[in-house]
Structure 1
């Protein structure tokens, strides 16, 4: 299954794909009108959620004024979320209702673990001349790719996303044993991790679909840019040794992932088994959990 990346929509509207299905007679006008109303509800409830439109912590972080202690605390909490996400991603794959959705979930999970996306016909590990600065900003081409499929790709330990994050941590004096475990998480971080497992990895495909849609659109809404901006400023002014590829790479690809969730929603919405109420429940509850995570970081920052 090839990953064909699609730009994240700026708003949720009826796509040309739906219009074509209408013209071919696969959908009725009433079905399309109902879907349009549903997308409007999703935009109000998900894309206008206050943690997407007004994230106090990342708005502060992007200024690049975090102290070293604040940076280390952030990296430690983010590493717990990043590592625990693997459990949720595995459950999402296990509980996928169709083979196609199972493969899509495996694409995400295996890439997280270090299997590099490969374009069809691409020679694996073709050297590309880049400076070390370009590799850090854009990702080492021997370890990362934003296009293709993990099917036929190769696994490299250093391509695992957690190892990229470890590279950031080591620049701040943290080591492998200091990050990523549940014991390193605050109560608010662990709440978010547990809700990811419960909702994103839910056995109910409608709950999982809603949570997945909300998570990917949260990831595409700008918080990665805030984090990259703040860390870039810190690297420029205080810590030139920081490796930021983990943040810059995610910032580049998350919008494309959000585009895929709309494509997937267009497929599942018109199935008889689709439950709008459960979809909305999954999305609302995971966004509330995301808010607990960021609010926790902000409260810890203000009280430490």
Structure 2
């Protein structure tokens, strides 16, 4: 199968935060230069990984050609990954080496579980009034936000990401009992989930940082857009009842997570305990596990001999 690779993510550059620390004399020029060299290495090993630039499955999926059987299989496997991510995210909270990193990890976990991001600059009265179709495409403003903090936010069961995914599944004849649990996962899906728990939730902070950086930059690199493109085509052509908020919301929010991971890397890189080799190892190994997941879906859809 031939396909057009995604464009490479934006280069990793020294941020204004680091420039400010350099200007204030908190960092030496040599330290900043060494950090830029490290970012270049991270960019080559993580952001140019073939599963970020050359994901055959999501490229095919973007065309909207998935049969109902293929679509149900995809949603079921994605639901297992989505649910098992909660285990990895909880481990990341438990094993966070600092209070600040614990809070950053809790932001992600609690939002996954249904705590809505609270934007202090937006009141309830300022929320836009949207049609049901717009709510599905953009996210119901009463249940979701892409900005703010979970601190002081409201928890709603219907705001849990798994319930949004259940909304997609119901439109395909799947029920709660068909989703999320390991018994529904293929061997490649379960491998990915186990590696997420081992690396993203590791008690080795360097491995965990590398895995987190790689996961968030993978999520921001374009695969959500390819999934959304394919699902919108399917919704328009034959399944107008499909609820797609799970995918459209993640497509909008993941770029922010990637930005946060760079800020987090900046905060740990200059500490004596930082181990660059372990950081790179964590990122490389989780990207290989991500590749196993997507390659498994690609193999599942193709007759044997077509790979």
TMscore range, shorter length: over 0.9
The DSSP-based 3-state class of the residue aligned with 1:154 is coil
Asked if 1:299 corresponds to 2:299, the answer is yes
2:227 is equivalent to residue 227 of structure 1: yes
Secondary structure (helix, strand or coil) at the match of 1:206 reads helix
Q: Please give the residue correspondences for 1:75-114 in structure 2 after superposition, counting only pairs within 5 Å.
A: 75-114=75-114
- Residue 123 of structure 1 deviates from its aligned partner by 4.0
Alignment-derived partner of residue 117 in structure 1: 117
Comparing 11-20 with 242-251, which one deviates more in the overlay? 11-20
2:218 alignment counterpart: 218
Q: CA deviation at 1:14?
A: 1.2
Which residue of structure 1 aligns with residue 241 of structure 2? Answer: 241
Whether the 8 Å CA contact 1:124–1:153 is kept in 2: the answer is no
Report what 1:135 is aligned to. 135
Q: Per-residue deviation at 1:20? A: 1.4
The Cα shift of 1:125 comes to 8.1
After TM superposition, give the deviation of residue 129 of structure 1 in Å: 1.0
Q: Counterpart of 1:56?
A: 56
Q: Tell me, in whole angstroms, the C-alpha distance in 2 between the residues paired with 1:59 and 1:105.
A: 30
1:287 matches 2:272: no
Q: TM-score, normalised by structure 2?
A: 0.94
Aligned: 1:167 with 2:167: yes
1:175 deviates by: 0.3
For normalisation by structure 1, the TM-score amounts to 0.95
Question: Size of the alignment, in residue pairs?
Answer: 296
User: Which ranges of structure 2 fall in alignment gaps of 5 or more residues?
Assistant: 1-8
Looking at structure 2, the residues matched to 57 and 73 of structure 1 have their Cα atoms a distance apart, in angstroms, of: 13
Residue 240 of structure 1: SS of its match in structure 2? coil
Contact 1:171 1:243 in 2 (8 A): yes
Distance (whole Å) between structure 2 residues aligned to residue 124 and residue 152 of structure 1: 14
CA distance in 1, matches of 2:240, 2:31: 55
The 1-side partners of 2:126 and 2:234 are apart by: 33
SS at match of 1:177: helix
Q: Which has the higher contact order (CA 8 A, sep 6+)?
A: 1
**Cα distance in 1 for residues equivalent to 2:183 and 2:154:** 32
Instruction: Give the Cα–Cα distance (whole angstroms) in 2 for the partners of residues 127 and 101 of structure 1.
Output: 31
| Deviation readout 1:95-131 (Å, 9 max, x if unpaired) | 0000000001001000000000112264458653101
Measure how far apart 1:303 and its partner are: 3.0
Q: Distance in 2 between matches of 1:129 and 1:34?
A: 50
Q: Deviations over 1:5-51 (max 9, x none)?
A: xxxx7110111221111111110111011101100100000000000
User: 2 CA distance for matches of 1:117 and 1:159?
Assistant: 10
Q: Could you tell me how far apart the structure 1 residues matched to 2:291 and 2:122 are?
A: 41
Task: Show structure 1 runs of 5+ residues with no match.
Answer: 1-8
8 Å CA contact 1:13, 1:39 repeated in 2: yes
C-alpha distance in structure 2 between counterparts of 1:125 and 1:74, whole Å: 38
CA distance in structure 2 between the aligned counterparts of 1:170 and 1:285, rounded to whole angstroms? 34
Residue 200 of structure 1 corresponds to which residue in structure 2?
200
Query: Post-superposition shift, 1:156?
Result: 0.5
Q: Is the 8 A contact 1:83 1:181 kept in 2?
A: yes
Q: What corresponds to 1:27 in structure 2?
A: 27
Structure 1 pair 124–95 and aligned structure 2 pair: CA distance change class (3 A): farther
